[in-house]
Structure 1
Amino acid sequence: MKVGIIGLGFRLGYLGYVFKAIDSSFDIVGYVDPEPAGLPGLTEKGISVGKAYGSPEELLASEKLDLLMIGSPNHLHLDHIRLGLQAGLKVFCEKPIVTTIAESIELAHLMAKFGHERLMVGLVLRYSPLYKDLRTIQAEGKLGQIVSIEASEHIEPYHGAFFMRDWRRYERYSGSFMLEKCCHDLDLYNGVAGARPERVASFGGRKSFIPANDPAREGINDLELFHRKPSGWMGSDKVFDSDADIIDYQVAIVEYANGVGMNFHTNLNVPDQFRRFAIMGSRGMAEGDFVRGYLDVHEQLTGNKVVENKYAATELSQHYGADEQMASDLLESVRTGLELPVSTLNALEAGILALAMDEARMKKTVVDLRPIWDRFDEALHARAA
């Protein structure tokens, strides 16, 4: 399988290794990236990446590809997706696929023109064993009708510091922290809720990564923790005095079109990180944590714990056993058209929710998503030009 990469950063450098480990025929024949942060990792593992091209257009004109993989900074995704679709290729794009509502509408137009099956998205948590088990339990009726959801994604200080130092610190490139990092989680709970989000309120800001909290002010000189995760393009050494415009904590409440309510919380400075949820239904509740590796289900009538699953990290995966499953399914989808557990539509809906959370936070108001969905659906179902 001949593969081209636009944006060979750390993530696609890692995924290139995973895809190659899953299928030895996976062959990166060329890439485009002026600063390929993911290249050394592939080279160390003995994985060839073919020729470096000066532009996406040159790559597409020079190579006959089976798959185009996009890992460029988020604000460039739409242009690179468009080029791949226009070239007639199957395209995989890392999340988030776009960074604004306007881009979401434009991508919906592209889906109407080129079809949904041509674009695959890296919302990898849909492939995780824990989430697959949760959805099976839900389908079996153990939870009954979903009523409310409590969910969070919290990351350790080393990871939060990475966001303050990386290009993702600028919303003009990342879209926002909620979009860049938490679109995974929002997608999962959109799936559980079974409806689109309709109203959103949100609050947040930056309170941890500020000059007053710099340990160096207290004479602490061992700051390796905050530089442990390397940054790539536009990287900086500044952490507590970063010029970032992203938040380091945010809370949001969401009402879905079917009445399900959700509260979501993210924080970038949590020493004992967790990524957990509690889903309350009319017949039971599910509680789990992707980081700590468990899924418990209690039934309503007896209070008994009827599911008690444990999950262990795998050797390949950075995402709780999901990366290798995603690689396997994506490769099969390219070859046979296998239907994937997450779609471009799912990715766009999660992204629009994240962007609505940020709008609500910045404007200090409740955002009504119904007018956005009307515009989105009009684009999504537009007749192909």
Structure 2
Amino acid sequence: MELLVENTTLYDEIIEKAKRIGQAAELESVQADKDATISENVANIIREEQINRLLLPKDYGYPQLDWHTYVDMVKTVSYHNLSAGWLSCFFSLHNAWVSYLPKPLRDEVVNQGGFVADVFAPVGKVEKAEGGYYVSGTYNFVSGINYCDWVGVGAFMKFDDSDKPERVGILLKVSDLEIIKNWDSLGLRGSGSNTLIVDKVFVKPEAILRFSKIIECSQPPEKDFDQDYLYYNTPFYPGFYVGFAAMAVGGAERVLAEFEKHTAGRVRFSGVAEKESPTSQRVLAELSLEMEAAQLLLNRYIAMMEEDKGGPYEGAKYKAIRASIIDKCVQIGVKSLLTLGGHALLKGHPVEMFTRDLMAIGTHITSLYEDGIHGYGRHLFGIQTNIQG
């Protein structure tokens, strides 16, 4: 399956931006692992390259990407450093939900120019107030919050036109909140996914995004909107989550390259070159085929998004494909590490770091393999799953 790039000049430009970010982050990867955050230097390069502007409607004056270009941008940064890939994806991606807010508020966020974080776990408490609402809650795993000016948080709310509470996203200014720097994880340590305390912060109704409305129609509230914008023409949730699979593929490609390089230069105690060992030859062949399968599944996922414009779609299938891609990539990391032996286990070795990061991607709620496969099986038997992608 061949995916077409709509603008090859733009594609080349975006990939060069991605390489610059990734290579800078790679040079600082060990320090970022210790600090539990990327550096301000890397964050500034993401700003300079305007990665946070890539997924905006065209009236803001930034390029309109196709899915293949966006996915390859994320893969390219991730090939060099997965935490930087994670944040490059998020800092661009989060403008996608901002693009569904009323235009005056959207303009304020975009024109202010800062990064946007989010954590939409519906754990917040919302209380009515005069002219709006008070929001409170403790939110964990808020990736990139150290460098963000805005954040979306999740809650359940009851609206007059609905008979039951529904999930919402609420836009807040980070300056009104408290950040607890407690990120201490196995992998993706450079993502700086700290905890956020929201203590009775006032918001106006226009800062509340009803996800149910996006599911019904993946277009913004105003009538005159950008017909060419990526997220207005695709199922929202599959598009919102595709970056997780792209990161995993980029990271696994790097692991495979490292496995081949380190195996080719490895000599056993017996004096036999490891590349002549049937064991390593078999592993390299097996992992190469798994890598190709993951890449083909990712292409299929993109093709499905391009086909499913505005109509019904199989959310469970998207989730299963994405979970399968990520699971294959995690297994490439684990198998490479176990086959290379003890020297790859040393802290800071590329295979050690990338494998930890791949495992962390695999633990994200949208990546869980058992959930994805189980849901798709139910869907295939005609059982309602309510999986949105």
Shared fold, TM over 0.5: no
Higher helix share: 2
Higher relative contact order (CA 8 A, sep 6+): 1
Scaled by the length of structure 2, what TM-score is found?
0.23
